[in-house]
Amino acid sequence: MSMHNIRFDFVCQRHVPLYEQLCHQYLNRTELNISIGAESDPQTSQIRYFIEAFATQAQLEALADNIASDFLLSVWLLHTHIERIEQHSGQRKLFKIKPLHPGLPLYFCQHCQPLFGDNQQPSFGNINLQCHHCMGHEKLSRDEKSLTQADIVLMANRLINNKSLPLPILGLTLWLTPPAVIADKQVIEASQASTEMPYQRPRILICNPNSLNSHFIVDDSQVLALSSIEKPLIRVRPSSDHPSLLAPLYDIQFAENRLLVILTEVLRQKGINWLHVTSDIEPHTSQEALLNKPLRLASINQHWLPITTLSDGSIPLPTNVTCLHDEHHYQDGLMAFTANTTKTAITWQVSSAESAAKRATSVISALESTIIDESSNAGTSISTSLCALNAALLRCDATKNSHKPQFVKNAAILYFSQHNGCQIVTLDDQSQPELFFEMPNLPLSGYEICHRLSESPQKSLLDKFKQLFSAEYNQLLDLHIQADDGALSQLMAVATLIIGGYPVETAQRVTVAELADKFVALAMAHHGNNAPRIDFPLTKGAAHRGLNWCKTLGTLMSFKLAGETNLAKLAFAFHDSFADYLSHWIEHLDQNIGVKQLVIAGSEFANPLLAERVQLRIGKNYPLVVNPLLDLDGVNIAIGGLYLKQRRG
């Protein structure tokens, strides 16, 4: 009977605790002479988990079936591979990890979920169903353990009768219909000083995954991500002309714990396909719920990346750039981030900005408060962009440890944020930074925007627009912009009103964030790649370039005046043209300083279409760099600050 050496590979974007612990379990199969391994690629930071076995063909086929069943899909899994090998390279001892829980890091698995979560099973609704595979029953809070099937059915009936259901143990409230104000308590508290309630993109819990395509526009990669063990929130648009899903974009999610699995199944039986969700952190909220922060993902170059990481974590200490500081603080208005270095790692902690301020009133609330940039741009801070640039390029190669100072050079970043500036910043071959471009903030009132347009060469277009589209013009006059609205979102919000993308009959004052979402949703609805060209001309200031936004808005007015009624085409054209202009600007920078590494970062790249068009227009010539171990806008800024050349002011 012939024996074979086979290796099963799981290549992942970042660590997957489930896969690590499964490797440990498979080590116990001594009859298969199993060895395991986890290798990191220093160039890409990818992790390759592998299981090697020496066994007969029949044993290996059975092992392959077991592995396919046990290694549940992770959103961080890039690809799998099976190959015949000459000899083992793995180890027969456990990885150096410290599991947080007994069993696997799951609330449920493929063994127990079909039993307690399927209404056809006799054990349906048994939240305490024991599972020796994942041990999910041991991860329940005391309040969850006390629930019976009858209790959960009662919850479902209460939700149907009252239209809402507070679940303090999960820190959530479920709603049958959109609540009057969709806003998380934390967001409200953090913004009480502002005059307007911040717009919160609606969050949806899917009760019936089989009906998903009837209500939302989702592709295969999004469905796989939603189904993964991480149960992330994915930004999607509703089906066209949906009778009740009226918001432009939604963050949708599948049930992530045992209580929600059972509750959504009860509701699915009653014909309810989805629920609205708001966060309500209260004293009764379980520690598990507090730790299990929502994971909101964006798709960047066909990989998923957290928009902002809300949980604590660590990465191996990078070896390719010299770390200059032991600790760095950053906050974006809602969350506070602290990064620290040790001899072997960078760790970070995340908390609400409010609680961070209570702990230390002297906490640095923004980088700019204590840092003066070592650049010629005295009037404009580029610290945040430089932090994001540094963080994206950090890599760890355990075989290399240079004692010479190493700094990032010949690099550029497109940093477009909804919290900070929207900038293009470069580092030359001497690691000297320069601000090439910054998107200007618009005036804070629609009246002032119209006044600026009337004083520009766009005056004649504005006069015609005012005459022919008086309702849209009046909407624009009523617009109020908050100072902390991102500059790109501001421009998209005004563009939405100019093209007539927001219903005129809507009386309530609309926010920049909602208008920007509407503009993005319109652009996503466009079919094809052909679109008119929108102008994004640069202006040359004393220190850096800006955008002649009057000309950009004037171009949109001219298409509207010419009779263009396809709003999706205009919104798409805005995105595509902007990406094309960015491409030309990067080519210009490449000729001047030699751009060897181009980073993209910032929460604006959570806009799926902007990320897609930038990838298509720029990525083919300049591969877009992100740090696969970090996020787009949050932890990366705190970590990048550890590498920031600075002098104290």
Structural domain for 12, as ranges: 3-84
Residue 106 covered by a domain: no
**48: domain CATH number?**
3.30.70.260
| Identity of the residue numbered 173 | T
CA 488 vs. chain centroid, Å, equals 17
Residue 124 covered by a domain: no
Secondary structure class of 6 (helix, strand, coil):
strand
Residue 111 covered by a domain: no
Residue 403 CA: distances (Å) to CA of 119, 266, 341, 429, 589: 62, 61, 17, 20, 31
One domain, residues 289 and 163: yes
Residue 116 main-chain phi, psi, to 5 deg: -90, -10
Rounded mean pLDDT of 73-88? 95
One domain, residues 206 and 240: yes
Structure tokens, 60: 């290996």
CA dihedral sign, ordered 260, 261, 267, 273: positive
> What pLDDT, on the 0 to 100 scale, is given for residue 508?
63
One domain, residues 628 and 501: no
Residue 117 covered by a domain: no
One domain, residues 425 and 538: no
CA gap 533, 572 in Å, rounded: 10
Residue 247 covered by a domain: yes
CA gap 109, 363 in Å, rounded: 42
Q: Which one of 294, 324, 348 terminates a domain?
A: 294
pLDDT of 372 > 90? The answer is no
| Closest alpha carbon to 301 in 635, 17, 638, 601 | 601
- The neighbour count for residue 108, using CB atoms within 10 Å, is 26
> What pLDDT, on the 0 to 100 scale, is given for residue 291?
64
Q: Which one of 581, 615, 639 terminates a domain?
A: 581
One domain, residues 163 and 290: yes
One domain, residues 152 and 285: yes
pLDDT of 380 > 80? The answer is no
> What pLDDT, on the 0 to 100 scale, is given for residue 75?
98
CA gap 420, 60 in Å, rounded: 54
DSSP secondary structure of 381-414: --HHHHHHHHHHT----TT----S-----SEEEE
> What pLDDT, on the 0 to 100 scale, is given for residue 294?
87
Residue 487 main-chain phi, psi, to 5 deg: -60, -40
- Indicate the DSSP class of residue 534: P
pLDDT of 581 > 50? The answer is yes
Percent pLDDT > 90 in the chain is 80
One domain, residues 74 and 200: no
CA gap 566, 92 in Å, rounded: 63
CA gap 111, 106 in Å, rounded: 12
One domain, residues 150 and 215: yes
> What pLDDT, on the 0 to 100 scale, is given for residue 283?
66
One domain, residues 641 and 513: no
> CB–CB of 389/636 below 8 Å?
no
> CB–CB of 493/481 below 8 Å?
yes
Q: Which one of 545, 564, 581 terminates a domain?
A: 581
pLDDT of 284 > 80? The answer is no
- Categorize the per-residue pLDDT at 360 as very low, low, confident or very high, splitting at 50, 70 and 90: low
Residue 258 covered by a domain: yes
One domain, residues 526 and 420: no
pLDDT by residue (tens digit) across 524-551?
999 998 899 999 999 988 778 999 999 9
> What pLDDT, on the 0 to 100 scale, is given for residue 371?
42
Torsion of CA 65, 71, 73, 74, to 10 degrees: -160
**592: domain CATH number?**
3.30.420.560
Helix H or strand E encompassing 297: strand 296-300
- Categorize the per-residue pLDDT at 375 as very low, low, confident or very high, splitting at 50, 70 and 90: very low
Q: How many CA atoms lie within 13 A of 185 on its CB side?
A: 8
> What pLDDT, on the 0 to 100 scale, is given for residue 353?
75
One domain, residues 570 and 601: no
State the average pLDDT for the chain. 90
Residue 300 covered by a domain: no
Name 573's Cβ contacts closer than 8 Å, sequence gap at least 6.
531, 532, 533, 534, 559
Secondary structure class of 234 (helix, strand, coil):
strand
pLDDT by residue (tens digit) across 92-122?
998 887 766 667 899 999 999 999 999 999 9
Task: Report the number of distinct structural domains present in the chain.
Answer: 4
One domain, residues 203 and 171: yes
Residue 133 covered by a domain: no
pLDDT by residue (tens digit) across 185-225?
444 444 444 445 668 899 999 999 999 999 999 999 999 99
pLDDT by residue (tens digit) across 398-452?
777 767 788 999 999 999 999 899 999 999 999 999 999 999 999 999 999 999 9
